[in-house]
Structure 1
Amino acid sequence: MHLALHPVPASPASPAHEAPAAGRYDPIAAATDLAARLRATAVERDRAGGHAASERASIGAAGLLALSVPREFGGQGADWKTIADVVRIVARADGALAHLLGFHHLQVATVRLLGSARQQRRLLTDTAERRLFWGNAVNPLDKRLVATPTAGGYILAGAKGFASGATGSDRVCAWDPLASAALVAVLPTNHPGIAVQADWDAFGQRQTDSGTVTFANVHLAEDDVLQPAGRVPTPRATLRSQVAQLVMTNVYLGLAEGAFEAARGYLRTDARPWFASSLDVAGATDDPYVQHRFGQFRLLVRPAQALADAAAAELDDAFARGAHLTVRERGEVALAVAEAKVLAHKAAIEIGSQMFELTGARSTAARHGFDRFWRNARVQTLHDPVDYTLRDIGRHALDGTLPEPTAYS
């Protein structure tokens, strides 16, 4: 079962950071301003880890939580290209907070793709009006959470691990043993019997508010079930995994861009030319070897940016098709997202590691915190094996087979 923990309202915004009124709101400008504030504390927070309560409130105050909520329900009605750009901008400063923001919009998309008209109106209107921040307990590989049918719904018992954003949020996923299939449902995180254990202790992405969510005989009403177990999903419904993969792609890409900018800034202001340089260079950026390697960095980032933008545009087209979306069209979106994801993955890992070969030993000082780009990328890119994504791309290149819908493709 996939259970969405629906959100807890963000803390009231301070007047200085209150989102502009609809019609004057620029999400890119809001994300850029937010990223600047997150960047100022990113190194310290990365060291400390823990719950990102204040930062989540800042995301809500910036007006970024209602981006994917359609206008008819009081949201901004932004397209996926804009949402992807916002996630990427935030990831340049803080990969963990970008993950939280992106997965919030993934849960909103889940309601849009799977919920009935009545469920959408209730849940999405509430999201926009109360500035709700969605988390999840939707790990499809963890089947410890069992949904047992009962009068008027289900009884949930068990646990879900790797629950991104669960600390301070609201939404879940459980396995129905009778139908041997997933059901997707929504519950408040503070529902009686639900407990969130903040046991995430990875060496990167330390403030994704992830953990294990346990359920002790929690009643799930039928009205909170978005997708009953055993219902065959439509091509449109399976776009959920493409939203997830596009979010991942832009977190990776933002981390690559953040590492690129950090390295460039350090080279311009702090790095020294290597003594053996054959030229009388004024600074590190005049060294032809540094220029050569930075050109390689650029050629890692630019193709990834182009394919990520193209994939977001294809996802927008697929959403616009609605119920008319075909299996083939859905597969073409999956292929576009897969290609973008692989390039973004490579850019994040390689730039995050190789930047130190250009910036030198002094750049490894803890006060700079440059290692967080690689650590965050390394942890995030293990979400699902890139080799299986490459297999899907290679299979299509060989015989035209499009990726089949799964929770990861």
Structure 2
Amino acid sequence: MGVVNPIKQAQLKAQSLFGKAEQLAAEFAATAVERDKRGGTAKNERDSLRKSGLLNLIIPVEYGGHGLDWHDTLQIVRIISRTDSSVGHLFGFQHLLLATIRLFGGQWPHYYRETVKNNWFWGNTLNPLDTRARISADGKDWLVHGTKSFCSGATDSDHLIVSALSETDGKLVIAAIPSNRTGIQIHSDWDNMGQRQTDSGTVDFHGVRIYDHEILREPGPLGSVFATLRPLLAQLILTNIYLGIGEGALAEAIGYTRSQSRAWFLSGVESATRDPYVLKKYGEFWVDLNAAALSTDHAASLLDAAWRQENALTEAERGSVAVASATAKVLATRAGLDVTQRLFEVTGARATSAKGGFDRYWRNLRTHSLHDPVDYKLLDLGEWVLNAKLPAPSFYS
């Protein structure tokens, strides 16, 4: 019997996981337009992800996960986002929240094993810009009171990452707790024009008990150079969602132009696929999305190299990832917004029918991209280019 090549084995495993993702994306596409109109919780789709095993992509093999790197994990986020960016958002945040535990808390091996064992889907109630939640001491434990907004995926989650400001010193405290703990009230009040099935509404905390061992304090929020990779991963997850939306919109437009669009009567051609203006616009879409994809994949490769460094990571190495991720996010946002609003120019008036739901691509990307303005990424990049100043670590850079 021959020796198993570990590299070949890892490649085959990755191919299998990519295949599952493509299969799920196709299933989600069948109901994406209807669910976008309906809003609410994508319960069936979340359960499909639970059954698929894809929730454990970045958990190392020794803890029961698949042990994928960030490059491949982000590619799968992009695949799902092409057909359903709400589910892609929830799926991406699953891995962001698992990474938060790894980067901020020494108890991550426990949470990784339990996530695999119990098939946990994680929800977000971190949102550092919303400072309404407070945490105070209660003997050996802690109590949280207050509200958090933009709590993506909290509904139907098994565990939550929660943040609150300390009543004692005002510092940010982050913990990992069960979603069904007494005093947690998850509201179904997300009613925005896009990302309608991300359940990104509000969560109230009414004296919710946090046990001391649940607080992520080693090294704590952004407590080391390695820990400051968390916001860069968050940026790249969003970038892959945006890129997936743009690529999905382009694929839908191509299918429609080929099968249903009519040539304009002044064009002198029989098919819309031969119209020179249509061809020019498709060329523009391709150039911009391809540039964004190459930049995004490059940033993901730098992130993987930095991740492997762990506590040996230097500020300069971290800064290189920050510059690359900011560049990718600007490109993906611009390219995605351009494709999603101009796709009607290559599909025609009939493509505006509500039945097709083509408008959802722009609505989803426009809604999501406003929560972290790219102007501030350009400011960081300008400082780097002109003044050789690396982006300062924060929860958004």
What range is the shorter-chain TM-score in? over 0.9
> Is the contact between residue 184 and residue 225 of structure 1 (CA under 8 Å) also seen in structure 2?
yes
**Which residue in the other structure is 2:251 paired with?**
261
Q: TM-score, normalised by structure 2?
A: 0.94
Q: Which residue among 75, 81, 89 is the counterpart of 2:79?
A: 89
**Which residue in the other structure is 1:69 paired with?**
59
Do structure 1's residue 319 and structure 2's residue 307 form an aligned pair?
Answer: yes
1:141–1:73 CA distance, 2 compared to 1 (3 A): same
1:152–1:25 CA distance, 2 compared to 1 (3 A): farther
> Is the contact between residue 151 and residue 201 of structure 2 (CA under 8 Å) also seen in structure 1?
yes
Worse overlay, 222-231 or 363-372: 222-231
Name the CA distance, whole Å, in 2 between partners of 1:267 and 1:316: 39
> Post-superposition shift, 1:163?
0.4
Deviations 1:252-311 (CA, angstroms, capped at 9, x unpaired): 00000001111111000000001111x3x2311110110011101011101100011001
Do structure 1's residue 129 and structure 2's residue 88 form an aligned pair?
Answer: no
**Which residue in the other structure is 2:320 paired with?**
332
Q: How many residue pairs end up in the alignment?
A: 384
1:374–1:72 CA distance, 2 compared to 1 (3 A): same
User: Relative contact order, CA 8 A, sep 6+: which one is greater?
Assistant: 1
Do structure 1's residue 372 and structure 2's residue 351 form an aligned pair?
Answer: no
Deviations 1:349-391 (CA, angstroms, capped at 9, x unpaired): 1100001112111001111110010000000111211100110
Q: Which residue among 153, 169, 185 is the counterpart of 2:175?
A: 185
Secondary structure of 1:244 counterpart: helix
> Post-superposition shift, 1:115?
1.6
Do structure 1's residue 290 and structure 2's residue 278 form an aligned pair?
Answer: yes
**Which residue in the other structure is 2:394 paired with?**
406
Runs of 4 or more consecutive aligned structure 1 residues displaced over 3 Å after TM superposition: 22-25, 228-232
Do structure 1's residue 346 and structure 2's residue 334 form an aligned pair?
Answer: yes
- Runs of at least 5 residues in structure 1 that lack an aligned partner in the other structure: 1-21
**1:327 aligned partner, one-letter code:** E
1:231–1:380 CA distance, 2 compared to 1 (3 A): closer
Name the CA distance, whole Å, in 1 between partners of 2:171 and 2:228: 15
Do structure 1's residue 52 and structure 2's residue 67 form an aligned pair?
Answer: no
Aligned identity (percent) is 45
> Is the contact between residue 99 and residue 208 of structure 1 (CA under 8 Å) also seen in structure 2?
yes
> Post-superposition shift, 1:107?
0.4
> Post-superposition shift, 1:229?
9.9
**Which residue in the other structure is 1:79 paired with?**
69
**Which residue in the other structure is 2:4 paired with?**
none
Q: TM-score, normalised by structure 1?
A: 0.92
Name the CA distance, whole Å, in 1 between partners of 2:335 and 2:311: 35
Alignment of 1:7-406 (within 5 A): 26-116=16-106, 119-169=107-157, 170-171=159-160, 172-227=162-217, 233-277=223-267, 279=268, 281-406=269-394
Secondary structure of 1:238 counterpart: helix
The structure carrying a bigger helix percent of its residues is 2
When the two chains are superposed, the root-mean-square deviation of aligned CA atoms in Å is 1.5
Deviations 1:294-341 (CA, angstroms, capped at 9, x unpaired): 101011101100011001101101110011001111111111110001
**1:233 aligned partner, one-letter code:** G
> Post-superposition shift, 1:183?
1.2
**Which residue in the other structure is 1:13 paired with?**
none
Name the CA distance, whole Å, in 1 between partners of 2:108 and 2:104: 9
> Is the contact between residue 14 and residue 68 of structure 2 (CA under 8 Å) also seen in structure 1?
no
> Post-superposition shift, 1:25?
6.7
